[in-house]
Amino acid sequence: MSLQKNCRRVLVACLLSAGTAQAATLSGFVSDADSGEALTRATVALEKLQLRAVSNTSGYYAVVQVPAGTHIVSASHLGYQTRWDTLHFGAHEAVRLDLTLVPKPTDLGEQVSVEAERISLRVKPLQQLPALGEADLLRGLQLLPGIQAVADISSGLYVRGGGPDQTAILLDDITLYNPSHLFGLFSTFNPDAIKEVNLYKGSYPAPYGRTLGAVLDVSNREGNRKRTSGRGGVSLISGRLLTEGPVGQGSWLLAGRRTYLDGVFSALRARGEDIPLNYYFYDLNGSINQRRGDDTHAASAYWGQDDLRIDLEDDEESFVDLRWGNRALTARWTRAFSPALFGHFTVAGSEYESTVALRFLDAPVRIANSIRDLSLKGDLDYFANRHHTLSLGLLATLFEFHFVRSFNERTQLDLRQEPVLLEGYVQDEWRLGLTTRVRLGGRGTYFSTGNRWHFTPRLSLIQALSDKIRVKAAAGVYRQHLQLITTEAFSGGDFWVPLDDTVEPGRSYQAVTGVEWTPSPRYQLAVDAYYTDLANLVIVDTELPDDNEDTHSEAVFKSGGTGWASGIEVFLHRRTGALTGWIGYALGWTRRTFPELNDGQPFLPKHDRRHDLSFVASYEMGAWRLGANLAYATGQAFTPVSESPVQRNSARLQPYHRLDVSASRSFALRGTDSEFYVQIFNVYSRRNEWFVQLDSVDPEVDPRKIKQLPIIPTLGFNFSF
């Protein structure tokens, strides 16, 4: 018998040993003591035995091969008090221990965790950051190193040199294709409904896919299982309300948010003011769940819509009407089939629609695009033994892309595609005691448009050198089959298209390494270095004629692009005390090369930023909390106007910098916990440069640099009951 066969038998025997090991098993669910909601990524450990488990998205954990005897079990989670239990384990005994953790008094720092491969945030620090109007998830993330925005009114995430289309944004396992309101000024995420945020800036693991760069995974709250409660707030821009409570053996949650700018505009018009603009947005979140023993059934929904109408001057029949929105629905079933085997099964549907209607001189123009998907997904976690946890999953998604362009009520282009995407992954998490963790996995994909098959491997390593120092390294290969076509006018006009067999799908190789130093519970320092190699990039061909009807990818895009991005990130974090916050710095480079652009020479994409510095601080004094954000970044790249040929994006705008401050006071009001806040966006009214506008009629006119937002003070009121 060959050595290879012997090794294979030994490996199989090890992986099957969980069911026959002469030892006990500890398993259960971890939840919040106040609300009863499941806690993801809580750590349950028997440290003297060097045994540890991390709860999954349902709060389930399992520690296998526990020796018989009496042992101390600890449970901990970001922002919660650590809990200790002493348990006796008999041989072969399956011990069930459901754990509840008590939240700590709120500290901004303890609600933000920079871990080896991801950044984890609870919702509270996002609500405490000074903001424009109200707290916003995506704009808060832009204050972390390696994450950028191109403008004050952009909620897009430019992560480590990649564009927004290279970052997957998930809400409860559903892809959101354009998560923005008010032209990108706000994201679609209601901060009151958010439970947890996990951001993978690069080299993300095998359970995720579809994009070349990063993953933002947002989990909404499930609802309070203990009592009926609510929270809400009013700002100068919008109002919001969330209610939740127990039902049966589970909970329910409803949340809504809406602007009232349309009401303000209507009142001004009633007073004789000439206001040609009307705009509003709203979003709704809802969920319900029931747990019966080891089974949980849950459903959640999201509905968001933006509506803008502009009446053109001197002609009541001329207008611009823009509408866009996201909708999503998910049904989930989870079950612990045994202490060592847990399943998670999902049916989900998502839809994004955008419509641009323009009427001028009795010539109506209409452009509508939509993307719908229906997904079936199954995931299994198998706690094989104390060293190995196997995860595997299958996902099937049916897409429908529809694009319609009409002029004067005559359809010029009607494009519909219905590709199928099949995905599967497997991952082995290998733990050697409490100091070493290795993840080895891979993801396979099949995309029917173009008949493409791909396999992308992933590998990561975390090594604790001591109880204060950890080093990490990760690498992976990634593919992207969908491409975002962007418009300069507004984010609601962006739309996605699948790449067909005329163009290769995008490919990236990513590698990252870093070190974390935690000298005390109060401070943490993290330093990362990364490199990304990009191939098969595409960019929209801006020279296409307006009447082009060739919809093949090679006719719509300039293809064959390559690129790279590299950089170093530093994150110094003060996590506890009256003063909390962080300092983040990123030094980065990124380049793109296309055969048909810039004479085939490498050039800077507009979001290339050499330096990016952020300072975030929160100071608590009794009922008062003061906050400040300071951001500085190298100016965006742009192509200067010249009579002689110039390199693409060879000039830069002025450096970007901005200071925001806030003050809030908590108090009790008629049985509610209330808070009044004042915020000032851009305190010293720095008019940062946004982009350079050329005169399309007279090229001799000097280009004009469009400025960004001035100082904007705002105030608001939050409450909970």
Long-range CB pairs of 384-387 (<8 Å, 24+ gap) are 384/14, 384/15, 384/16, 384/17, 384/18, 384/64, 384/340, 385/14, 385/15, 385/17, 385/18, 385/21, 385/64, 385/65, 386/51, 386/63, 386/64, 386/65, 386/431, 387/14, 387/430, 387/431, 387/432
Query: How many Å apart are CA 666 and CA 623, to the nearest integer?
Result: 5
pLDDT at residue number 547? 58
DSSP string, 390-439: EEEEEEEEEEEEEEEEEETTEEEEEEEE--EEEEEEEEEEEEETTTEEEE
**pLDDT per residue as tens digits for the range 109-123:** 556 666 657 888 777
Long-range CB pairs of 536-544 (<8 Å, 24+ gap) are 536/503, 536/504, 536/505, 536/506, 536/507, 536/560, 536/561, 537/506, 537/561, 537/562, 537/563, 537/592, 537/594, 538/483, 538/499, 538/503, 538/506, 539/594, 539/597, 540/485, 540/486
Q: How far is CA 94 from CA 18, 47, 150, 179, 345, in A?
A: 12, 19, 54, 44, 25
Q: List the beta strands (DSSP E) in 67-208.
A: 69-76, 83-89, 94-96, 99-101, 112-114, 119-122, 147-148, 158-159, 167-171, 174-175, 180-181, 186-187, 194-200
pLDDT at residue number 350? 94
Provide the percentage of residues in the chain whose pLDDT is more than 90. 57
Task: Give the model's confidence band at 626: pLDDT under 50 very low, under 70 low, under 90 confident, else very high.
Answer: very high
Domains of the chain are 3-101 (2.60.40.1120), 109-720 (2.40.170.20)
Task: Give the model's confidence band at 47: pLDDT under 50 very low, under 70 low, under 90 confident, else very high.
Answer: confident
- 3-state SS assignment for residue 144: coil
pTM for the structure as a whole = 0.90
pLDDT at residue number 11? 42
pLDDT at residue number 13? 42
Residue 631 has pLDDT above 90, yes or no: yes
Phi-psi region of 28 (alpha: psi -120 to 50; beta: other; left: phi over 0): left
- For residue 157, the 8-state DSSP code is -
pLDDT at residue number 150? 76
Query: How many Å apart are CA 398 and CA 337, to the nearest integer?
Result: 29
Question: Are the C-beta atoms of residues 592 and 603 closer than 8 Å to each other?
Answer: yes
The mean pLDDT of 500-508, rounded to a whole number, is 88
pLDDT at residue number 413? 76
Helix (H) or strand (E) holding 129, with range, is none
**pLDDT per residue as tens digits for the range 114-152:** 665 788 877 777 777 887 777 888 888 899 999 988 788
Query: How many Å apart are CA 180 and CA 186, to the nearest integer?
Result: 6
Q: Which residues contact 4 (CB under 8 A, 6 or more apart)?
A: none
Instruction: Count, in order, helices (H) and strands (E) of the chain.
Output: 5, 47
Question: Are the C-beta atoms of residues 162 and 202 closer than 8 Å to each other?
Answer: no
Give the bridge partners for 230, in sequence order: 243
**pLDDT per residue as tens digits for the range 245-265:** 999 999 999 999 999 888 877
The mean pLDDT of 670-678, rounded to a whole number, is 90
pLDDT at residue number 361? 67
Q: How far is CA 337 from CA 22, 340, 544, 553, 709, in A?
A: 20, 8, 56, 46, 55
pLDDT at residue number 639? 86
The mean pLDDT of 69-91, rounded to a whole number, is 92
pLDDT at residue number 6? 46
Average predicted confidence (pLDDT) for the chain: 87
pLDDT at residue number 699? 59
Question: Are the C-beta atoms of residues 371 and 399 closer than 8 Å to each other?
Answer: yes
**pLDDT per residue as tens digits for the range 202-238:** 899 999 999 999 999 999 999 999 999 999 999 988 8
Q: How far is CA 583 from CA 518, 570, 575, 692, in A?
A: 15, 8, 12, 31
pLDDT at residue number 592? 95
pLDDT at residue number 313? 63
Q: What values do phi and psi take at 628, rounded to 5? A: -150, 140
pLDDT at residue number 640? 85
Q: What values do phi and psi take at 209, rounded to 5? A: -165, -165
Burial class (CB in 10 A: 0-12, 13-18, 19+), 382: buried
Query: How many Å apart are CA 145 and CA 116, to the nearest integer?
Result: 15
pLDDT at residue number 179? 87
Residue 8 has pLDDT above 50, yes or no: no
Q: By C-alpha distance, which of 93, 102, 96, 112 is closest to 33?
A: 102
Query: How many Å apart are CA 194 and CA 220, to the nearest integer?
Result: 4
More confident residue, 700 or 186: 186
The mean pLDDT of 550-577, rounded to a whole number, is 85
Question: Are the C-beta atoms of residues 663 and 677 closer than 8 Å to each other?
Answer: yes
**pLDDT per residue as tens digits for the range 163-216:** 888 999 999 988 998 888 877 778 889 989 998 889 999 899 999 999 999 999
Name the token pair of 342. Answer: 């847990």
Query: How many Å apart are CA 199 and CA 547, to the nearest integer?
Result: 41
Phi-psi region of 183 (alpha: psi -120 to 50; beta: other; left: phi over 0): left
Question: Are the C-beta atoms of residues 687 and 705 closer than 8 Å to each other?
Answer: no
pLDDT at residue number 242? 97
CB atoms within 10 A of CB 400: 14
pLDDT at residue number 345? 97
Instruction: Return the biggest CA–CA distance within the chain.
Output: 93
Most confident region among 429-433, 460-464, 650-654, 687-691 by mean pLDDT: 460-464
Q: By C-alpha distance, which of 465, 494, 500, 468 is closest to 482?
A: 500
CB atoms within 10 A of CB 552: 11
DSSP string, 270-288: HTT----EEEEEEEEEEEE
Residue 59 has pLDDT above 80, yes or no: yes
Helix (H) or strand (E) holding 269, with range, is helix 261-270
Q: Which of 6-20, 333-347, 365-379, 413-427 is predicted least confidently?
A: 6-20
The mean pLDDT of 58-82, rounded to a whole number, is 92
Query: How many Å apart are CA 529 and CA 70, to the nearest integer?
Result: 44
More confident residue, 261 or 674: 674
Residue 596 has pLDDT above 90, yes or no: no
Q: What is the 3-state secondary structure (H, E, C) of 212-259?
A: CCEEEEEEECCCCCCCCEEEEEEECCEEEEEEEEEECCEEEEEEEEEE
What sign does the CA torsion over 266, 268, 271, 275 have? Answer: negative
Q: By C-alpha distance, which of 616, 660, 681 is closest to 121?
A: 616
pLDDT at residue number 20? 39
**pLDDT per residue as tens digits for the range 395-427:** 999 999 998 888 877 887 788 889 999 999 999
pLDDT at residue number 160? 94
**pLDDT per residue as tens digits for the range 17-41:** 434 345 899 999 999 999 999 998 8
Most confident region among 32-36, 333-337, 499-503 by mean pLDDT: 333-337
pLDDT at residue number 1? 44
Task: Give the model's confidence band at 526: pLDDT under 50 very low, under 70 low, under 90 confident, else very high.
Answer: very high
